[in-house]
C-alpha cells in the first residue's frame, strides 16, 4: 500500500530543469579568511550549543522511501522543533544579532538603542525578531506582497515592526537597504553582496551547527548524496562547509533544489557566473523564492555542487501529508513546504532513469535530506494537508 502511495506521489511531481555543474572541483576544503571557515563555524557551535533549551534536532530514517528507491538509507534532518521557532533559521539571525549587540556593548552602546532590519519570506525574519527580543533591541522586518498574514503575525508577536512591500523578495530587500541607510539601522541579512559579508557569514556559521550535528549523528556513516534546498544559498553553504571540511576532496554528491519560478542558482551554475532571475510568480515553497545568489554562498557552492534541479509545486502538499501521517518512516513528521523539496527532488530523480543513473544512485547510497522547517504557517499547513489528494 505504501509503495502505491509513494509511486502516486512521484508521478505527481514535476521536474523543470536538471543541469550538471561544469565548475565542480574535487579539492580540499579551502578554509579561507573572510569566508565560512573552521574558526567561525567552531565559534558558532561553541556558543549556540550552550544556549538555553539547545538540543540537536532529530535525524530521521525514511526507511520506506529507501526501500522504494532501492538505496541503503534516506535520512531526514528534522528542523521543525528548532528552539520552538520551527525552522533552521533560528540558528542564524539570532546568532548574528547576539554578536552584533555584544560588539555594540563593547563600544558603550545600549542594545535598546539600536535597530536591526532585514528582508524575509518569513522564517529568517522570525529568527531576527526572536534574536532582537532576546537582545532587547528593536527590529524592522520587511516582507513582500506574497508573505502570508500568519507568518507576518508570528514576527509581530515577537515584538518586531513588520513592513509589507509591494513586489517580490528582491523588492523587499531593496526597501530594507534604503530604509537602513536613511535611519542608521543594522542590516541582518542572510544574503551577502559586495561590501556586505560579515553578518551573512555569521548567519551561515549559525546554520553550520545543523551540519555538525548531522556529522555527529551519522557517526562513521558518510552521506553519498545530499539534496540541498536553495533560496539565496545560505542554508546550503552552511550545510556544505562542515561536510566539505570533514570529507575534503572526497565530498559527496550535492544536488541543489529550487523552485522553477526562482532558480537563480541553477541558472548561475549553468552559465558559470552569478545570474539574477526575475520572479514573475511566487512558489508555494516560499523560502525558495529568491532571485539572486548570495556572494559567500556562491563561493562555497560553485565548486562543490554536482548538479542542480528546479521543480514545480505540484505534489508537494501530498508529500507533506505522507510525512505527517508517518507513512514514509521516521515517525510522524511535521514538514513545511520547503522541507518537502528535497524528498520531491529525490522521487523525481527516481522517476527519471537518465537522471537516476547520472547521479549514480545504487543499493549502497546513503542519502541526506534537509527538513528545513515545520508548520511555520499553521493555517496554510493544515489547508495543504487537508486538500492534498490521495
pLDDT for 54-98, tens place per residue? Answer: 999 999 999 999 999 999 999 999 999 999 999 999 999 999 999
Strands 15-20 and 307-311 turn out to be antiparallel
Domains 2-88+199-387 and 93-189 share a fold: yes
* pLDDT, the chain, mean: 95
Q: Of residues 33 and 374, which shows the higher confidence score? A: 374
Strands 73-78 and 15-20 turn out to be unpaired
Domain range list for the chain: 2-88+199-387, 93-189
Q: Does 390 have pLDDT greater than 70?
A: no
Q: Over the stretch 218-245, which tens digit does the pLDDT of each residue have?
A: 999 999 999 999 999 999 999 999 999 9
Q: Give the whole-angstrom CA distance, residue 317 versus residue 336.
A: 9
Strands 225-229 and 253-259 turn out to be parallel
Class of the 93-189 domain? alpha beta
Q: What's the DSSP call for residue 57?
A: P
Return the residue matching grid coordinates 542519502.
367
Beta bridge partners of 60: 76
Task: Give residue 123's pLDDT.
Answer: 86
Which residues are identified as catalytic? 89, 121
Q: Over the stretch 12-24, which tens digit does the pLDDT of each residue have?
A: 999 999 999 999 9
User: Three cell numbers at 339?
Assistant: 522541507
Class of the 2-88+199-387 domain? alpha beta
pTM, two decimal places: 0.94
Task: Give residue 2's pLDDT.
Answer: 84
Q: Where does residue 233 fall: left (phi above 0), alpha (psi -120 to 50 degrees), or beta otherwise?
A: left
Q: Over the stretch 331-349, which tens digit does the pLDDT of each residue have?
A: 999 999 999 999 999 999 9
User: Three cell numbers at 12?
Assistant: 505527481
Closest CA to 138 of 90, 188, 95, 92: 188
Task: Give residue 389's pLDDT.
Answer: 66
Closest CA to 232 of 352, 119, 365: 119
Amino acid at each position: 500500500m505504501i509503495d502505491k502511495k509513494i509511486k502516486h506521489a512521484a508521478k505527481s511531481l514535476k521536474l523543470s530543469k536538471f543541469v550538471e555543474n561544469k565548475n565542480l572541483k574535487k579539492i580540499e576544503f579551502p578554509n579561507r579568511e573572510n569566508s565560512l571557515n573552521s574558526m567561525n563555524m567552531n565559534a558558532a557551535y561553541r556558543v549556540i550549543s550552550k544556549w538555553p533549551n539547545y538540543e540537536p534536532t532529530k535525524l530521521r530514517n525514511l526507511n520506506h522511501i529507501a526501500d522504494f528507491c532501492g538505496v541503503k538509507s534516506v535520512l531526514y534532518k528534522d528542523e521543525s522543533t528548532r528552539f520552538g521557532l520551527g525552522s533552521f533559521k533560528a540558528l542564524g539571525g539570532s546568532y548574528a544579532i547576539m554578536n552584533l549587540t555584544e560588539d555594540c556593548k563593547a563600544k558603550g552602546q545600549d542594545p535598546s538603542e539600536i535597530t536591526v532590519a532585514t528582508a524575509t519570506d518569513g522564517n529568517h525574519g522570525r529568527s531576527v525578531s526572536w534574536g532582537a527580543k532576546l537582545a532587547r533591541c528593536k527590529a524592522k522586518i520587511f516582507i513582500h506582497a506574497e508573505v502570508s498574514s500568519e507568518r507576518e503575525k508570528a514576527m509581530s508577536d515577537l515584538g518586531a515592526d513588520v513592513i509589507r512591500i509591494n513586489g517580490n523578495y528582491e523588492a523587499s530587500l531593496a526597501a530594507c537597504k534604503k530604509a537602513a541607510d536613511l535611519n542608521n539601522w543594522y542590516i541582518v541579512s542572510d544574503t551577502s553582496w559586495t561590501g556586505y559579508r560579515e553578518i551573512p557569514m555569521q548567519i551561515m556559521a549559525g546554520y553550520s551547527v545543523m551540519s555538525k550535528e548531522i556529522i555527529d549523528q551519522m557517526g562513521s556513516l558518510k552521506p553519498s548524496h545530499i539534496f540541498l534546498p536553495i533560496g539565496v544559498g545560505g542554508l546550503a553553504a552552511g550545510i556544505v562547509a562542515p561536510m566539505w571540511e570533514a570529507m575534503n576532496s572526497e565530498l559527496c554528491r550535492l544536488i541543489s533544489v529550487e523552485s522553477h519560478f526562482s532558480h537563480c542558482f541553477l541558472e548561475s551554475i549553468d552559465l558559470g557566473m552569478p545570474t539574477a532571475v526575475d520572479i514573475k510568480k511566487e512558489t508555494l515553497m516560499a523560502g525558495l523564492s529568491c532571485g539572486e545568489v548570495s556572494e559567500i554562498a556562491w563561493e562555497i557552492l560553485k565548486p562543490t555542487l554536482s548538479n542542480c534541479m528546479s521543480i514545480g509545486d505540484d505534489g508537494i502538499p501530498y508529500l507533506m501529508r505522507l510525512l505527517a501521517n508517518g507513512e514514509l518512516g521516521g515517525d510522524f513528521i511535521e514538514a513545511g513546504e520547503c522541507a518537502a523539496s528535497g524528498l520531491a527532488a529525490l522521487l523525481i530523480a527516481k522517476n527519471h532513469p537518465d537522471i537516476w543513473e547520472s547521479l549514480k544512485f545504487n543499493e549502497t547510497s546513503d542519502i541526506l535530506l534537509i527538513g528545513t522547517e515545520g508548520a511555520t504557517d499553521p493555517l496554510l499547513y493544515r489547508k495543504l494537508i487537508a486538500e492534498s489528494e490521495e
